[in-house]
Structure 1
Amino acid sequence: MSRWLKVSLLLVLSLLLGFGGCAAEQTAPPAPKPTVNRALYGQHVTLTGTSNTQDLGGIRTKTGQTLRAHRLIRSDQLSDLTQADGRRLTQKYQVRAIADLRSTAEIKDNPDVHVPHVTYHQDSVVTDNYNVRTTQQFYQGLVTDRVALRGYSAFFDQLLQRKTGATVFHCTYGKDRTGVGAVLVLSALGVSRKTILQNYLYSN
């Protein structure tokens, strides 16, 4: 069995609940119709210091299963988080880890705000000079460059080790590098290509 297949199976077991969702969702009264389709986009996380943060919980796989809420959260950079934002992330969303996909230089210029009791991981998927590339070269590099393969592999390994609580993964704007990370994870979890594409475009 290939390493990536093992990763896929482990992620399915650790991050999915099955067809019914969690017990709270089964017994709760019907909620008002959401303005955003959670099966495609998850749920927006409202924070003062970010503008593009989404809990991917609620996204459906091709077999009808759903991702758990408060396990996978994608975001733009966290350098402007307020103390209230930090409390909201750790208390409501149970965030226990942050995976930063930015370059070393970006992290140095705009470091993430320290959130108490949260483990920080630098999982850079680009080098400091990535912005000299064309758009096509940039996207090709996210799936072929050694630094990208190393960064995304580390991110997957961290997800497998995280048995409880949520992981926030992010870059600067929460679109490209974070989007590719979401593509990889959602693909491993069996989400349809159509849903993945819609989710990716939604982050723009």
Structure 2
Amino acid sequence: MRIKRADYLKSAVYEKDYPERLNSVEFAFVGRSNVGKSSLINSLTSRTKLARTSKTPGRTQLINFFIINQEFYIVDLPGYGFAKVPKAMKKEWGSTIERYIISARTKLVFVLLDIRRIPSEEDMEMLRWLDFHNLPFKIIFTKTDKISNNEKFRLLKEIRKKIEFHNEDVFFYSSLSHKGREEVLQFMEDTLKEAGGNVDEGIE
């Protein structure tokens, strides 16, 4: 897939404020605060400032919609799991994410996990939640440039004690080197084609 154009469209909390649905799948990205979600979206779209990164984790409270090639949306969901956020705010963010997850919009969710960390209870909750609602999702392990191959195999062994997966069913991504970008874009292209959407083919 060639991403020729990527634009911020709008931010929303409630479903009534979501942008008009397009005749295609939209791709939502979710993960813990500081998992590298904004950096990954910027890397994926080859735009350095499309998704804004915050120096203070847990500040992203809104759902951000980006329109790609005027064909489909990338949806940036609020980060979760930051300890210093008040409980009332955490509850509201959870509701914000839940409203989107259970909405009737056709979506695929990318769950981002920091490969250096054992999945937290919030991560496990998110995976169980998606499974419960029968929503298609894929795991992307982020920050892979920060570990060696030996560390990667060791960490994956530990992570598999909590999550069952095959390597071919997940993605490994470095926003710094963009390693993994082509694989994710190809998967998105295939998903859009299966859903009958228009796709600008080829990797940019």
Is TM > 0.5 for Structure 1 vs Structure 2?
no
Normalised by the length of structure 2, the TM-score is: 0.34
Structure with greater helix share of residues: 1
Structure with greater strand share of residues: 2
Higher relative contact order (CA 8 A, sep 6+): 2
